[in-house]
Chain A
Amino acid sequence: MATHRFCDGVRRRDFLQVGAIAGGLSLASYLKMAHAGEVAPSAKAKAGILIYLTGGPSHLDTFDLKPDAPAEYRGEFNPIETNVPGIRIGEHLPQMARCADKYAVLRGVSHTLAAHELGRMYMNTGNRPLPSLTYPGYGSVVSMEMESAPDLPKAVSIPNSIHPAGYLGIAHSPLATGATPTFGRPFQVRGTALGRGLTVTDVERRQQLLSDLDTTFRGVDNDSEVLNGLDRFSEQAHNIISSSNARQAFDVSQENPAVAKRFGENGFGQSCLLAVRLIESGVRFVTVGIGGWDTHQDNFSKLKTDLLPQLDTGVAALFSTLAERGLLESTSVMVTGEFGRTPKINARGGRDHWPRAMFVLLGGGGMKGGQVIGASDDKGMGPASQAITPDNVAASFYKSLGIDHHKEYHTNIGRPVMIVRNGHVIPELFS
């Protein structure tokens, strides 16, 4: 029956069904999967981490140095050798240099959107932003595609959501922690922690009362998606709140102090630790944000004294801890910002927005580390030859997560949209 298999594949009914669940969450499919036992997480489950450097990190001073360029481009920093022969990165990333085998450095990643908001949207979705449509971020797509343990949220953002769920609807928004954890201090998240002196016993007692009283719709709730969904979420929320699983995962103070220290005694480092703990306990996607990269002035001192040491310690510990715990093979990690920065240093010792050349790190999840893919030209102005597009980065990241980036969703008005509309997988990552 060609009419469906070919072109006009989406029929009106499909549209209506999607339209009717404007929140984007397909409750029916969720419930069906739950019924079929497909929601239990498997040990080899795929997961992802996005480290997002808000503001746009300078590529020339981090992972794409140009020691031979004129001084007004080159900057103050020198390259150092890594544990992979031939790969050299910035001198203020010594720990990252010691684990360069765990990630691939993508150079000459390139786009044309020099505004923070637009660049952020592009890099977080792999789709050039459209005014009429908000594409979902990585965490939201993963939350749509994967199931997780019943007592855990599927996707978490530390501290705030970098990118919304867009047309997938708020149900797929990552749970935002609202704060970054502090080294050695207990940490909890809005709505998941027991507050106000409540104990698990109190919660169980309340829950018993609730189930004793919540009987009005008994017998008809299976006929209603809304009632059925409320029951399901009620159970899940109760699991999250009363289980020690989520609380323990969130509470970085329970980590072995030696391990915790490795991540750095700062907010970003501890957020990376939290990301590892969450992935370890079964959360499917974690976004960690770190701001301050918009270095229009004093680029070098800001990088040297503040930003790079944090990034170096936190991300290196994240890679090595994931590897030690056997999680790196199943966890895809991406490090990126919205764009690179101008190769030519400005009058205030800063670098400005520069989307034509930037770097991205990709590692874990079956992606081949210890290599440089792509290149920028001799001054870091643009790609040396073929540009790597954000679309291709996204397609590759999704592939490593086991998600077909060609998959099509329908927006709440029934418009069909592919996860990544124009992306191609970067072959070097998977050879």
Chain B
Amino acid sequence: MQRAERDGFETFTSYIDTLFAGYCWETIMHLKTWLWIRRAGFVALAALMPLTSAWAADVQAPVSERFADAHGQEEPSFQRHVLPLMGRLGCNGRACHGSFQGQGGFRLSLFGYDFKADHDALTAGEKPRVNLKNPAESLIVFKPTHEDEHEGGQRMEEGSWQHHIFLRWIEAGAKDDSAEQASLTRLEVIPAEIQFKTEGEAVKLQAIAHWSNGDREIVTPISRFQTNDGSVAEVDENGAVTCTGQGDTHIIVFYDNGIASVPVIQPISPEVAANYPQVPTPTKVDELVVQKLKKLGIVPSELSSDAEFLRRVSLDMTGTLPTPDEIKAFLADKSADKRAQKIDELLERPTYAAWWATRLCDITGNNAQQLPNNAFRNEDSKQWYDWIEKRIADNVPYDQIIASIVLATGRSAGQSYEDYCEEMSQYYRKKDPRSFADHDTLPHFWARRNVRTPEDKALAFAYAFLGVRLQCAQCHKHPFDQWSQQDFEHFQAFFTNIQYGNNPASSKERAQMLEALGLGGKKPNNEVQKKLQAIAAKGEPIPLQELFVRETNNNRNRNNKGKNSGSSRVITPKVLGGEEVDSHESDLRHSLMDWLRSPQNPYFARAIVNRVWANYFNVGIIEPADDQNLANPPSNEALLAYLTQEFVAHGYDLKWLHRTIANSRTYQLSWRPNPTNRLDTRNFSRAVPRRLPAEVAYDALNFATASDAEMARLLTDVSQRAIGPTSGYQQNGGRGASYALATFGKPARLTNCDCERSMEPSLLQTLFLRNDGEMLSLLERNNGWLAEVGKAEKSNSSQRESPRDEEFTVEQLERARTKAQQILAKLDKKKDEKEYKKALLRKNRIELQLIAMRKAEAKPATPSGDKVDSAVVAQQGAQLVREAYLRTLSRPPQQDELDKSLAYLADSESLSSGLRDLLWALLNTKEFIVNH
């Protein structure tokens, strides 16, 4: 939609508002409303200049007037009038004749827009619904006017304009004019925005269709209207909007394939306009958010505390809790820009790359079970993860990352089949495998089993890179968007040439390789597979399948000419809502990628901006975040437009996006509500408490209960983390972490739909947290915090009588640690992976000993025994309680919490059992499992 025009209308709207304010809507409805609107438009024309050319031309009156009489000169149009009327009457809904089985032997295309099929259904077949000889006898006229004859009841009155539209259309020959009709360029709705003041107020909407030949027509009586939230506004079938409550929503208007949305607001408090308090808006994001909040009368919450901010941003940005030391340091830091500094620091961490690689693996569908190479499914899944992880860490521009996925082929340009197999074998060898992250492209997205067909590829592509759910249009007109089945077919044509498997062009080389391996001519059974796998494990090349581009359909058709001409319909590829693409190229994906990057693309950059935003705010500006459609408008268009535009202007810089969002005051607001924003979840006036995502929750449990050394390891070594490279591996029968992850709603990554992830709490989750054996084991594990504390206690109480494995002084250990760190710094993580790991382990081991020793020194002896000495509790307890709070809730305890916890410890069998219960209780608080 033309932005300038819309902005003009916003001003215009308030004018319409005042115009209508004095009338109750019934009165207005009975006025000849279209005249009203024309007059209003006329006044507006005089008042507001730039948009007016549209109004200067004549606008056709609505069909309700033009066809009020049973007879007349004008002939109703099939596309413009008859089909929209049938949509309005509900004929083509899915419970009526739109059902795939039809209804009463009459079937229409679901939600319309398949003109030929619908015209055929009406005029052809054994039982045509149209009787040209005796129009009044036509079933399409007779049935819906008679309650008893029509299962769907009476849909219109005899003698009504609706009745006359059908009659006059049939009398004129019941023609399908859709082929010669101009196309709908715009569905305009007036007013473009509604701001109510109180409940019960009403406004009548008018819909105006703009056609490509310049025609304009008021189509209100044959449009459909619906509200996106009936608790804010209801709309009746004539487009009369009534305010039913406070808040904001949209009214959606449907006509032909046009869908328009009208924002509706009733302020939540009197704090609007001049009454609105002074609210700081340090960034553009804040400005745009508050702009909307002002209209709504919602005042944002206060700024969050430093501890709240640190926990929130660590979880959102890196999927990881802050460490106790980090929290202490952050709280003690007095610098004014410490939050911005922290954000910059977090963006450089391996956990940032890990968590966002996991999110992109979700979006692109990294699932070992769907990977085609049976022998190396987990390896391939790890390749996928590693490839993305490296690019996130290096902050490769988003469009480049996606281009390297979209345009991928198995071989790089000019590579021979043998060289391809040779290269791949280096990734698969057991010993010192080469990292796939260095490979130029990622062919795995297209290689998946679940996207074998062009249809599935089109759906996956639309979900993943456009944030558009296309599957409705696979079978029928999309009910909430402009897409018809035809649009889907055109779009799908982009993907027909991409194939994974044995490239026929290399069958000779392949056979030769098998021959050389002594496997020539054998069936590819399990035994052969195993042999090949063993050869690959040794690092020797084996013949592999690949992702390749087939020769174009055009060529094929030419070759097939004469054989089955006519049977294969060539469908030209056409981008969604755009132009046809020259189909002479064999790899059409280049045109597709050009389209993604073109400034006209309404989806690509928006989709990722909205998804990243949703990660930080619980909901997207468009929600669900991957459901961009015309009937699901953003809650704050200006905000999404700004972020998208700047993201592109910054060269698709993902870190810029994260930084911009996280540095806004809006992101840093407290979750604590005020009376105006208590119920706000869509306008970002406060932080909305939400459950931790599955992987983050599982890692947080692991992290909070880990020993200090283990915690330090988990921060840098993500290989065993749930947010790490194993997230796409095949499930191992519900055992181990996979049970917990499935229970907490980790996405299965089968459909590229964001909806696969569940963020809902459930009973099974709570049972897991409270009482599952796996959870209790986490608490009491050997490399856990409780064990560490226990050991320190024990070694103290025994007055160091039992000799340690290695008896060193603190000074010796510190020297050893420095040395270990130096060695580590010299090693290249990638090149000398083994050495590096060894050195890392050594350094960690030394640190572990140091920590244990320092603890032992810092603490007085605990008498080992059944009863807890109250003096000991008083001395050590407070420190341990603080530590437990920092580990779990990422903040120090308040005084009363400290008191209650200490009382519990004193009342426990032993300090360690009391501490275990405390840790258990903290992990089971809502404050732990939600991000807030």
CA distance A9 to B111 in the complex (A): 12
Does A309 belong to the interface (CB within 8 Å)?
no
Question: 0/1 per residue, B94-117, Cβ < 8 Å to A?
Answer: 111010000000000001000000
Interface residues of A, CB < 8 Å — how many? 64
On whether the beta carbons of A7 and B90 are closer than 8 Å, the reply is: yes
CB distance from B439 to the nearest CB of A (A): 30
On whether the beta carbons of A206 and B90 are closer than 8 Å, the reply is: no
Residue of B nearest to A9 (CB): B95
On whether the beta carbons of A170 and B745 are closer than 8 Å, the reply is: yes
Does A36 belong to the interface (CB within 8 Å)?
no
Q: Which of B47-55, B567-575, B646-654, B751-759 lies on the face that meets chain A?
A: B751-759
On whether the beta carbons of B763 and A237 are closer than 8 Å, the reply is: yes
On whether the beta carbons of B94 and A3 are closer than 8 Å, the reply is: no
CB distance from B247 to the nearest CB of A (A): 12
CA distance A9 to B95 in the complex (A): 8
CA distance A22 to B673 in the complex (A): 25
CB distance from A363 to the nearest CB of B (A): 30
Does B326 belong to the interface (CB within 8 Å)?
no
On whether the beta carbons of B761 and A233 are closer than 8 Å, the reply is: yes
Does B690 belong to the interface (CB within 8 Å)?
yes
Does A40 belong to the interface (CB within 8 Å)?
no
From the candidates B93, B155, B673, B758, name the one contacting A23 in the complex (CB within 8 A).
B758
On whether the beta carbons of A12 and B228 are closer than 8 Å, the reply is: yes
Known contacts A6-B152, A7-B94, A227-B930; A412/B755 CB under 8 A: yes
On whether the beta carbons of B925 and A3 are closer than 8 Å, the reply is: no
Contacts of A176 in B (CB 8 A): 734
On whether the beta carbons of A192 and B920 are closer than 8 Å, the reply is: no
CB distance from B100 to the nearest CB of A (A): 11
CA distance A19 to B469 in the complex (A): 13
CB distance from B894 to the nearest CB of A (A): 10
Q: Which of A73-81, A209-217, A346-354 lies on the face that meets chain B?
A: A209-217
CB distance from B516 to the nearest CB of A (A): 37
Residue of A nearest to B469 (CB): A413
On whether the beta carbons of B917 and A205 are closer than 8 Å, the reply is: yes
On whether the beta carbons of B900 and A213 are closer than 8 Å, the reply is: yes
Does A25 belong to the interface (CB within 8 Å)?
yes
From the candidates A173, A213, A229, name the one contacting B897 in the complex (CB within 8 A).
A213
Does B479 belong to the interface (CB within 8 Å)?
yes
Known contacts A1-B236, A237-B766; A23/B759 CB under 8 A: yes
On whether the beta carbons of B95 and A7 are closer than 8 Å, the reply is: yes
On whether the beta carbons of B762 and A210 are closer than 8 Å, the reply is: no
Does A424 belong to the interface (CB within 8 Å)?
no
CB distance from B572 to the nearest CB of A (A): 26
Contacts of B426 in A (CB 8 A): none
CA distance A190 to B770 in the complex (A): 11
Residue of A nearest to B679 (CB): A223
Contacts of A175 in B (CB 8 A): 764
On whether the beta carbons of A170 and B930 are closer than 8 Å, the reply is: no
Contacts of B922 in A (CB 8 A): 213
CA distance A16 to B627 in the complex (A): 10
CB distance from A194 to the nearest CB of B (A): 8
Does B823 belong to the interface (CB within 8 Å)?
no
Does B131 belong to the interface (CB within 8 Å)?
no
On whether the beta carbons of A209 and B904 are closer than 8 Å, the reply is: yes
On whether the beta carbons of B90 and A19 are closer than 8 Å, the reply is: no
Q: Which of B670-692 contact A (CB under 8 A)?
A: 672-673, 678-679, 688-691
Interface centre among B98, B227, B767, B929 (most CB of A within 10 A): B767
Contacts of B776 in A (CB 8 A): 195-196
From the candidates A169, A195, A223, A416, name the one contacting B758 in the complex (CB within 8 A).
A169
Contacts of A16 in B (CB 8 A): 228, 623-624, 632
Residue of A nearest to B463 (CB): A413
Does B743 belong to the interface (CB within 8 Å)?
yes
Contacts of B889 in A (CB 8 A): 216
Contacts of B764 in A (CB 8 A): 170-171, 173, 175, 191
Does A132 belong to the interface (CB within 8 Å)?
yes
On whether the beta carbons of B921 and A206 are closer than 8 Å, the reply is: yes
Does B554 belong to the interface (CB within 8 Å)?
no
CB distance from B62 to the nearest CB of A (A): 18
CA distance A224 to B760 in the complex (A): 12
CB distance from B307 to the nearest CB of A (A): 12
Does B772 belong to the interface (CB within 8 Å)?
yes
On whether the beta carbons of A213 and B901 are closer than 8 Å, the reply is: yes
On whether the beta carbons of B228 and A190 are closer than 8 Å, the reply is: no
Question: 0/1 per residue, A154-188, Cβ < 8 Å to B?
Answer: 00000010000000011101011000000000000
Known contacts A217-B689, A230-B766; A206/B758 CB under 8 A: no
Question: 0/1 per residue, B883-912, Cβ < 8 Å to A?
Answer: 000000100000001001100100000000
Contacts of A233 in B (CB 8 A): 761-763, 765-766
On whether the beta carbons of B926 and A1 are closer than 8 Å, the reply is: no
Does B870 belong to the interface (CB within 8 Å)?
no
CA distance A194 to B152 in the complex (A): 58
Contacts of A19 in B (CB 8 A): 624, 627, 755
Contacts of A12 in B (CB 8 A): 226-228, 252, 480, 631-632
On whether the beta carbons of A234 and B773 are closer than 8 Å, the reply is: no
Does B237 belong to the interface (CB within 8 Å)?
yes
CB distance from B747 to the nearest CB of A (A): 9
CB distance from A81 to the nearest CB of B (A): 44
On whether the beta carbons of A169 and B760 are closer than 8 Å, the reply is: yes
Residue of B nearest to A15 (CB): B480
Contacts of A1 in B (CB 8 A): 236-237
Known contacts A6-B96, A213-B901; A230/B761 CB under 8 A: yes
Does A325 belong to the interface (CB within 8 Å)?
no
Does B742 belong to the interface (CB within 8 Å)?
yes
CA distance A16 to B632 in the complex (A): 9
Does A8 belong to the interface (CB within 8 Å)?
yes
Does A423 belong to the interface (CB within 8 Å)?
no
Q: Which of A389-422 contact B (CB under 8 A)?
A: 412-413, 415-416
Known contacts A2-B90, A231-B926, A413-B753; A206/B917 CB under 8 A: yes
Contacts of B932 in A (CB 8 A): 217
CA distance A28 to B421 in the complex (A): 55
Does A11 belong to the interface (CB within 8 Å)?
yes
Does A13 belong to the interface (CB within 8 Å)?
yes
Known contacts A191-B772, A237-B771; A416/B94 CB under 8 A: yes
Does A221 belong to the interface (CB within 8 Å)?
yes
On whether the beta carbons of B229 and A13 are closer than 8 Å, the reply is: yes
CB distance from A118 to the nearest CB of B (A): 16
Known contacts A9-B93, A170-B742, A192-B767; A230/B228 CB under 8 A: no
On whether the beta carbons of A11 and B762 are closer than 8 Å, the reply is: no
Does B230 belong to the interface (CB within 8 Å)?
yes
CA distance A227 to B931 in the complex (A): 11
Known contacts A195-B776, A217-B689; A8/B930 CB under 8 A: no
Question: 0/1 per residue, A257-274, Cβ < 8 Å to B?
Answer: 000000000000000000
CB distance from B619 to the nearest CB of A (A): 8
CA distance A3 to B901 in the complex (A): 59
Does B768 belong to the interface (CB within 8 Å)?
yes
Interface centre among A191, A193, A195 (most CB of B within 10 A): A191
Q: Which of A30-44 contact B (CB under 8 A)?
A: none
CB distance from A187 to the nearest CB of B (A): 15
CB distance from A420 to the nearest CB of B (A): 15
On whether the beta carbons of A191 and B228 are closer than 8 Å, the reply is: no
4 extra A-B contacts, CB within 8 A, seeds A2-B89, A11-B226, A213-B900: A11-B227, A19-B755, A230-B766, A237-B763
Q: Nearest 10 A-B pairs (CB), nearest first?
A: A7-B93, A23-B760, A23-B758, A171-B762, A7-B90, A191-B767, A233-B766, A237-B766, A214-B925, A412-B755
Using CB atoms and an 8 Å cutoff, list the residues of chain B in contact with chain A. 89-96, 98, 111, 152-153, 155, 224, 226-230, 236-237, 252, 469, 471-472, 479-480, 623-624, 627, 631-632, 672-673, 678-679, 688-691, 734, 742-743, 745, 751, 753, 755-768, 770-773, 776, 780, 889, 897, 900-901, 904, 917-918, 920-922, 924-927, 929-930, 932
Could you list some 6 contacts between A and B, CB below 8 A? A1-B236, A6-B152, A13-B227, A16-B624, A22-B755, A209-B918
